[in-house]
Structure 1
Amino acid sequence: MQGLAGGLAGGLLGSLLFGGTGHASPGGFGGGGIGLMDIAILGLILYLAYRFFKKRREQNAAAASYYGTPPQADNYEGFSQTGGSYAYGTAHEPVRGYSQLEQGIDQIRRYDPGFDEERFKETVQDLFFRIQAGWMNRSLEGIESILTGEMADFFRREFESMRQRNVINRLENIAIRKVELAEAWQEAGNEYITVLITANLLDYTVDATTREVVEGDKLNPVKFKEFWTFTRDIGAPGWRLSAIDQA
């Protein structure tokens, strides 16, 4: 306690400890030893102090209940954040967060219980090679059904541009190194999955007439990473390419 109450308590305690010598006793308390009035005042001060700290504890408990406190454990070390969802963890048994990707996959399985991530990756690789072949042929024949309308329009414009320039973009010796699921979600009646594709290939452009290389290198492969996003109607069987972005 501080202030006046602290001085009173200090004086009375001094009287008790030092046998009435008056050390640190304001107002003459303890000049001739402790008396009944001294005991009464000391008791009042201790009672007020008890009420004060009890009230503080009740206020702190109420505030903690209102704002919420994390669950307590002997080895609790706080919380970690993964993908926007929080998970409490301990030093001995860490809890992995429930990521947005996992939430998206669970949403897809509600309407397609048989959805399998590994089988989907194989589907992505098949679509990848088909689309690359269509790109080299400068034609939507055989691939338009696996493209969204926006992507089909984009390809169509690129093919027309290559024909006007009389060039062909060659993609050869393609080797997919890894396919990783990056995002999954549902929106406006559609399902979306984005994958990160890591691959090596020969990427060069030739003159359509002379077959001479006008851009790129036909001898040294390049490594690239791209995000490919596929979509379908919720629960529908077929996936279509809706976007390609550089990693």
Structure 2
Amino acid sequence: MTQITKSRRGKALVVLAAVLTLAATSVVEARPGKGGSFGSRGARTYDAPATTTTAPNAAAPMQRSATDRPAAGPAATQPGAPGMQRPGAPANRGFFGGLAGGLLGAGLIGMLLGGGFLGGMGGFASMLGLLLQVALIGGLIWMAVRFFKSRNRPAYAGAGAPLNRDGAPPRSQGGPMGGPLGGMMGGGGRAARPATTPKGVDGVGIGPSDYESFERLLREIQTAYGREDKAALRSLTTPEVISYFTEELDANAARGVVNRIEDVKLVQGDLAESWREGAVDYATVALRYSLVDYTVQRSDDAVIDGDRSKPVEAVEVWTFQRPAGGGWVLSAVQQA
């Protein structure tokens, strides 16, 4: 009876955890971008941004982007490269392929010597028992090898200290933001530390006025989305990002709902990277912010998702783009 009670209690906890997870997901995916990773970071679109205090885990890879993925390197198609098989080379049959071939050979030799196929292997029963034992031992060895390899392999390519494109350690890490963003972290008044830049490329001097722009853009983009103000969003984002936002707003309109976003407040933020490509500056910033995020029916303003009085928090990595002589606009969002 005690074991049955424990089993039922365990199942109830699993169900409760699943319900809470689904509820949290429905809130997170309501804001602009539906909790996805999209947009462009120039030449770094498919590189993991440097981790920061605000977003210590690697950002999610880009799911939607107008930027083409880089072509595979020469090693991917070079003859003799790892993972490639030379024309005419025998296939790698693995451990069990070699074992089966050996057993078959033993049976054929037994037949040639007059003992019959099964006689050559000591009888069918003994062969089957041997196969089972060898399969069990081989499986245990395979599991042990996989286990130790997984322990030694990094969890994600972008985890840990970031590297420059040439593989060398970065000259400096992105630090707490100065100005308003730095103040949120208790670091107001401190000068911003330079962000990681690839060798041979000048970094971008990010100062207090830039941090003020990033915080303002966070607030204005979120609230403009909640108002369904496409004209305002168009002035605050790149053409690619506004195209994604327009798709979402049109889908909401077709469903007869409105995603309201109010009371957006930056809680913490810091700079991950800044760099320049030609005449365009980029800055990737980790942001933790709170907002009131809920969805209502257009017909009667009844809440169908979220809470119009309870704020929630989100952590995202935003990349801003600034053309020569222009201002910052949002060019990419990634989940942290």
TM-score w.r.t. the length of structure 2 is 0.41
Offset at 1:157? 0.8
Number of aligned residues? 152
CA gap of 1:230–1:84, structure 2 versus 1, over 3 A, is same
2:219 corresponds to: 129
Task: Confirm or deny: 8 A CA contact 2:196 2:272 kept in the other structure.
Answer: no
Alignment of 1:109-188 (within 5 A): 109=204, 115-187=205-277
Distance 2:220 2:328 in 1: 13
Counterpart residue type for residue 129 of structure 1: R
- 1:82 and 1:159, CA in 2 relative to 1: closer, same or farther beyond 3 A? closer
Give the C-alpha shift of residue 174 in structure 1.
1.9
Distance, in Å, in 1 between the alignment partners of 2:311 and 2:223 is: 17
- 1:18-57 aligned at under 5 Å gives the runs none
Residue 124 of structure 1 aligns with an amino acid whose one-letter code is F
Asked whether the equivalents of residues 269 and 287 of structure 2 are also in contact (C-alpha less than 8 Å), the reply is yes
- Work out the CA distance in 1 between the residues paired with 2:283 and 2:253: 32
* Structure 1 portions without partners, runs of 5+: 1-80, 88-96, 110-114
| Amino acid paired to 1:133 | T
Q: Which residue of 2 aligns with 1:201?
A: 291
> Cα distance, 1:215 vs. partner?
0.8
CA distance in 1, matches of 2:215, 2:258: 23
Please tell me whether the aligned partners of residues 82 and 99 of structure 1 are also in contact (alpha carbons under 8 angstroms).
no
Distance 1:222 1:142 in 2: 24
1:232 to 2:327 alignment: no
Q: Report the secondary structure of 1:153's partner residue.
A: helix
Provide the C-alpha distance between the structure 1 equivalents of 2:310 and 2:220, rounded to a whole number of angstroms: 23
Alignment partner, residue 99 of structure 1: 172
Question: Which string of whole-angstrom CA distances, capped at 9 and with x for unpartnered residues, describes residues 118-162 of structure 1?
Answer: 221110111112111220121212231221111111111111111
> 1:84 maps to which residue?
163
Misfit runs of 4+, over 4 Å: none
Separation in structure 2 between the aligned mates of residue 236 and residue 178 of structure 1, nearest angstrom: 29
C-alpha separation in 2, matches of 1:192 and 1:99: 17
Provide the rounded CA distance (Å) in 2 between the counterparts of 1:175 and 1:238: 22
Distance 1:107 1:117 in 2: 15
- The verdict on how the C-alpha distance between 1:219 and 1:137 changes in structure 2, with shifts beyond 3 A counting, is closer
Q: Could you say which residue in structure 2 is the equivalent of 1:191? A: 281
Unaligned runs of 5+ in 2: 1-159, 175-194
How far apart, in 1, do the equivalents of 2:305 and 2:239 lie? 29
The SS at the match of 1:133 is helix
Deviation digits for residues 79-138 of structure 1, max 9, x if unmatched? Answer: xx9543768xxxxxxxxx6126534398244xxxxx443221110111112111220121
Instruction: Indicate if the aligned counterparts of 2:238 and 2:330 stay in contact, CA closer than 8 A.
Output: yes
The C-alpha deviation readout for 1:159-199, integer Å capped at 9, x for no partner, is 11111111111112222111211122233542211111111
Instruction: Specify the alignment match of 1:245 in structure 2.
Output: 334
For 2:202, give the aligned amino acid.
Q
Higher relative contact order (CA 8 A, sep 6+): 2
Distance 1:175 1:222 in 2: 10
Instruction: Report if aligned partners of 2:283, 2:320 keep a CA contact under 8 Å in 1.
Output: yes
Which is richer in strand? 1
Pair 1:219 & 2:323 matched? no
Instruction: Report SS of the residue matched to 1:104.
Output: coil
Amino acid at match of 1:104: T
How many percent identity over aligned positions?
30
CA distance in 2, matches of 1:153, 1:190: 21
User: Amino acid of the residue matched to residue 330 of structure 2?
Assistant: L
Where 2:208 maps in the other structure, the secondary structure is helix
CA drift of 1:206 comes to 0.5
Q: 2:302 & 2:209 partners in 1: Cα distance?
A: 40
